[in-house]
Amino acid sequence: MSAKKFTKFLSEYAVVIIFVVATVACIGPSRLSVTYIVQEIITRLGRNSFLVISLLLPIFAGMGLNFGMTLGAMAGQIGLIFAVDWGVAGWQGLVFALLVGLPISVLLGWVCGSVMNRAKGREMVTGYILAFFINGIYQFFVLYMLGSVIPMRNPSILLSRGYGIRNTLNLESVRQSLDNIVMARIGPFAVPVVTFAVIALLCIFVVWFKRTKLGQDMRAVGQDMGVADAAGIPVERTRIIAIIISTMFACAGQIIFLQNMGNLATYNAHDQTGFFAVAAILVGGASVTHASIANVFIGVVLLHAMFIVSPLAGQNLFGSAMIGEYFRQFIGYGVIALSLVLYAWKSRKAASDARSLIRTGGSPAANGKGGKE
Partner 1 sequence: MGNNEPLLSLKNVSKEFYGNVVLQDVSFDLHEGEILGLVGENGAGKTTLMRILFGMPVIAETGGFKGSICLDGQEVHFSTPFEALDAGIGMVHQEFSLIPGFTTAENIVLNRESMHPSLLNDVFGDRMSILDRPAIKKRAVGAIEKLGVKLDPGMLVSEMPVGHKQFTEIAREISRDKSRILVLDEPTAVLTESEAEVLLESLRRLAKEGVAIIFISHRLQEVVEVADRVVVLRDGLAVKDVPAKGLTIKDSASWMVGRSMAGDAAGAREVRKFDEEILSVEHLWVDMPGETVRDVSASVRKGEIFGIGGLAGQGKLGIPNGIMGLYPAGGKVKLHGRDIALNAPAKALKSGMSFVSEDRRGVGLLLDESLDWNIAFTAMQIHGQYLRPILGGIFTQRDEKGMESLCKEYIELLDIKCTSSRQKAKELSGGNQQKICLAKAFAMRPDLLFVSEPTRGIDVGAKKLVLDTLRKYNREYGTTIVMISSELEELRSICDRIAIIDEGKIAGILPPTADVADFGILMAGIGASEAAAAMAGQEANNA
Using an 8 Å Cβ cutoff, are 47 and 280 in contact?
A: no
Phi and psi for 70 in degrees, rounded to 5? -55, -30
Using an 8 Å Cβ cutoff, are 195 and 178 in contact?
A: yes
CB of 367 to partner 1, least distance (A): 4
Closer to partner 1 by Cβ: residue 230 or 341: 230
Per-residue DSSP letter, 299: H
d(CA 124, CA 63): 7
Which string of b and e fits 191-226 if b means at least 16 CB within 10 Å? bbebbbebbeebbeebeebbeeeebebbebbbeebe
CB of 359 to partner 1, least distance (A): 5
Closer to partner 1 by Cβ: residue 260 or 287: 287
Pairing of strands 189-192, 168-170: unpaired
Closer to partner 1 by Cβ: residue 31 or 237: 237
CB of 80 to partner 1, least distance (A): 27
Using an 8 Å Cβ cutoff, are 38 and 234 in contact?
A: no
Closer to partner 1 by Cβ: residue 186 or 365: 365
Closer to partner 1 by Cβ: residue 180 or 216: 216
Using an 8 Å Cβ cutoff, are 169 and 81 in contact?
A: yes
Using an 8 Å Cβ cutoff, are 373 and 321 in contact?
A: no
CB of 243 to partner 1, least distance (A): 16
End-to-end CA distance of the chain: 50
Closer to partner 1 by Cβ: residue 219 or 346: 219
Residues at the site binding partner 1, with contacts judged by CB under 8 A: 208, 211-214, 216-217, 219-220, 223-224, 226-228, 230-233, 352, 355, 358-359, 361-362, 364-373
Closer to partner 1 by Cβ: residue 156 or 363: 363
Grouping H, G, I as helix, E, B as strand and the rest as coil, residue 319 is coil
Which of 177, 159, 163 is CA-nearest to residue 80? 177
Closer to partner 1 by Cβ: residue 187 or 361: 361
d(CA 56, CA 280): 12
CB of 68 to partner 1, least distance (A): 22
| Run of H or E including 289 | none
CB of 5 to partner 1, least distance (A): 17
